[in-house]
Amino acid sequence: MPLYSAVKVGGIPMYKLARKGNPVEQIKRTVEIFDLKILSLAIPYLTLKVSCSKGTYIRALAEDIGNMLGCGAHITNLERTSVGEFSLKDACTLEQMSQDLKTFGMRILEKRYIRPVDLFLKDFESVLLSDYELDKVITGVPIEAPKDLLSFSKNVLVRLYDKQKKFVGLGETKGNKVVPKRLVNTKNIRE
């Protein structure tokens, strides 16, 4: 992990310590490189495409590759092309969105551009709430964790859904309870 990162040491981001000249021991973190492709090689430039786990510092990867090759390396250009289900090829500019809005009206934004909030949270387990549990969650009262969630460690975030499988918000497991953490606009939940 590079010294100039936002990872905290003793509650202070490493980059702040490094900028002040304070000695900081580099933290080693295990990451996964799922795929590494050479797109072009025009010495001294190498263009790579990397598919990796979260927490991977690509600048540190470039430095490691350079060290293994015995020549050193650094990044001159870095572009994130996808995160989870979202890809740069599916992106649009504000100008495109504005033009579509003028041409087709508000419905085009809902149809083409707006995504459900829970799409970003697909990696979290989900909990389907009864009406009784939903009433409790809306008022901030913890509910009993479903049996299949009890095997999880505490402080794990879970997605909460009503009986119609409409996203309600996030909860957090604490012991044998699920505590409401962040809810969508609760006025709209019962509609």
Residue 106: phi and psi, rounded to 5, are -60, -35
> What residues pair up with 161 in beta bridges, in sequence order?
128, 167
Q: What is the pLDDT of residue 4?
A: 61
Q: How far apart are CA 82 and CA 54, in angstroms?
A: 12
Q: Would you mind telling me the total number of residues written for the chain in this entry?
A: 191
Q: What is the pLDDT of residue 108?
A: 85
Render pLDDT for 58-80 as a digit per residue (tens, 0 to 9). Answer: 998 999 999 999 999 999 999 99
Parse the chain into domains and list their residue ranges.
Answer: 8-83, 86-114, 118-183
Q: The CATH number of 118-183 is which of 2.40.440.10, 2.30.130.10, 3.40.50.10310, 1.10.150.650? A: 2.30.130.10
Please, how many CA atoms are within 13 Å of residue 103, restricted to the half-sphere of its CB? Answer: 7
Confirm or reject CATH 3.30.70.3190 for domain 8-83, answering yes or no.
yes
How do beta strands 177-183 and 157-161 pair?
A: unpaired
Q: How far apart are CA 134 and CA 56, in angstroms?
A: 38
Render pLDDT for 101-112 as a digit per residue (tens, 0 to 9). Answer: 999 988 888 888
With 0.95 as the threshold, say if the pTM is over it: no
Q: What is the pLDDT of residue 95?
A: 94
**Do residues 45 and 30 touch, judged by C-beta distance below 8 A?**
no
In the chain, which stretches have pLDDT less than 50? Answer: none
Q: What is the pLDDT of residue 191?
A: 56
Residue 57 structure tokens:
């510092």
Q: What is the pLDDT of residue 36?
A: 96
